Amino acid sequence: MRKRKAQQTNQNILKGIVAMALIVLLVCYLFLTMVSCSPTGPCFRVEGNISDAEDSTLVLEVMAMDGIHPLDSICLGPDGSFAFTAPADTSTAPEFYRLRIGQKIINFVVDSLETICVTAPFNKMTTDYEIQGNEASRTMKTISLTCIQLQQQITHLQQEGTLSYLEKTDRLQQLINDYKQLLKQDFILRDPSSPAAYFALFQTVGGILLFNPETDRSDVQYFAAVATQWDFLYPGTLRTENLKNIALRGLKNTRKPQPLEIQLSGDKIQETGIIDFGFPDIRGCERRLSDFHENVVLLDFTAYSLPQSQQRILELRELYEKYHHRGLEIYQVSLDPDEHYWKTMCESLPWVCVYCTEGINNDMIRLYGIQSLPSFFIIARGSEMKARGESIKDLRKAIEEEL
């Protein structure tokens, strides 16, 4: 009897030890979960469900000042549920992120240590998503949806066969002006300190920024309004300093009329054939012109801050979508004075975009005899120079002849 009681006592003690060990393990697990982002600091969490997206890869990306970078990814299961945890230093300034499956994107911002919940159907992920836990992100959704509507209106306008080129240009400009006015009144002036106001400043259509603080003084004012508020709330941060620099440069540029063209002095103009060169793309990778010797290449020297750049990019996009599958490549060299401005402008463009830090002072640029911007060339397969823009009456026809 005593032996049986002793065995029972030992079993109870063993069970108690096991139970205590489980409790300790649970506490350790919870602690490790809470500090899993250490030593980088506090974390935010984004979770939710993307329905009808089984086996799709959902990527969490940060939209940093130096470009878009992936933070984490997950292969969605049958129920489409996901959860990401990532470090966030909200003591400095709000940070912008996005969830992406292929080309389907949901933008959101983190401005406090919070849990954000996102649900969406896969087929309409970009437009029909719901986001909870962050008011600024819901406002950003409204901005994104109105931008998508603008893009749809522009696409419909481009397909309209009864309008002349000038009529299309006038209507396009009116659509853009109306959308910019909506952004100014409803999202920027209403609260210039908000992340949504910052997000509104950098809206693009066809890969082109709607606000052009480089040459448009009225646009500069809105950058200055947001920069002033952010300088008070988030002094010294990268985004604040960038806003201030854009506003100050814009105020300086628009004090007097700006020339429509960037000129090179006559003694530096040379006529040349095809000359190989390479410049870094938005990811910092060198892209050489000779890499595309098997393609028909539209070599384009430009600056996104020039007037009418917006309309021109839309026209190039139309050419690219029509002829790229047949072998056309666009190699576009930016001579903009501000590299971050260039990165923002070309981030969503589908062709090869490179940046020349020296601008028009670069020797290779001079050797191509660039007298004004934009300036372009048609290069046939085998890297054979065929024509430069001044001699091309019908660009579409010239491209088709080489293809």
Distance, C-alpha 209 to centroid of its chain: 10
> How many Å apart are CA 64 and CA 344, to the nearest integer?
11
Per-residue model confidence (pLDDT) at position 199: 94
Q: State the chain's mean pLDDT as an integer.
A: 81
Which residue's entry shows tokens 């809105």? Answer: 222
Q: What's the rounded mean pLDDT across residues 204-221? A: 80
Which strands, in side-by-side order, build the sheet including 57-64?
A: 67-75, 57-64, 95-101, 104-110
The 3-state DSSP class for residue 65 equals: coil
Single-letter amino acid code for the residue at 267: D
The separation between the first and the last C-alpha atoms of the chain, rounded to the nearest angstrom, is: 99
Q: What are the residue ranges spanned by the domains of the chain?
A: 43-133, 144-253, 266-402
Q: Say what percent of the chain tops pLDDT 90.
A: 34
Two tokens at 144? 């994104």
Q: What's the rounded mean pLDDT across residues 40-58? A: 89
Q: Which residues of 170-208 are buried (b: 16+ CB within 10 A; e: fewer)?
A: eebeebbeebbeebbeebbeeebebbbbbbbbebbbbbb
- Residue 167, pLDDT > 80, answer yes
Per-residue model confidence (pLDDT) at position 264: 37
Confidence class for position 257, pLDDT limits 50, 70, 90: very low
Q: Does the model's pTM come out above 0.75?
A: no
Superfamily of structural domain 266-402? Glutaredoxin (3.40.30.10)
DSSP secondary structure of 148-196:
HHHHHHHHHHHH-SSS-HHHHHHHHHHHHHHHHHHHIIIIISS-TTSHH
Per-residue model confidence (pLDDT) at position 266: 37
Confidence class for position 120, pLDDT limits 50, 70, 90: very high
Q: How long is the chain?
A: 403
What contacts 138, CB < 8 A, 6 or more positions away? Answer: 131
Does CATH place domain 43-133 in 2.60.40.180? yes
Confidence class for position 391, pLDDT limits 50, 70, 90: confident
pLDDT tens digits for range 192-210 = 889 999 999 999 887 778 8
Confidence class for position 35, pLDDT limits 50, 70, 90: very low
Of the two residues 257 and 321, the one the predictor is more confident about is 321
DSSP type of residue 393: S
pLDDT tens digits for range 287-343 = 999 899 899 999 999 988 777 787 888 889 889 999 999 999 999 999 887 888 788
Instruction: Decide if 118 contacts 145 (C-beta within 8 A).
Output: no
DSSP type of residue 26: H
Q: What's the rounded mean pLDDT across residues 75-89? A: 91
Of the two residues 254 and 334, the one the predictor is more confident about is 334
What contacts 371, CB < 8 A, 6 or more positions away? Answer: 263, 264, 269
The 3-state DSSP class for residue 224 equals: helix
DSSP type of residue 273: -
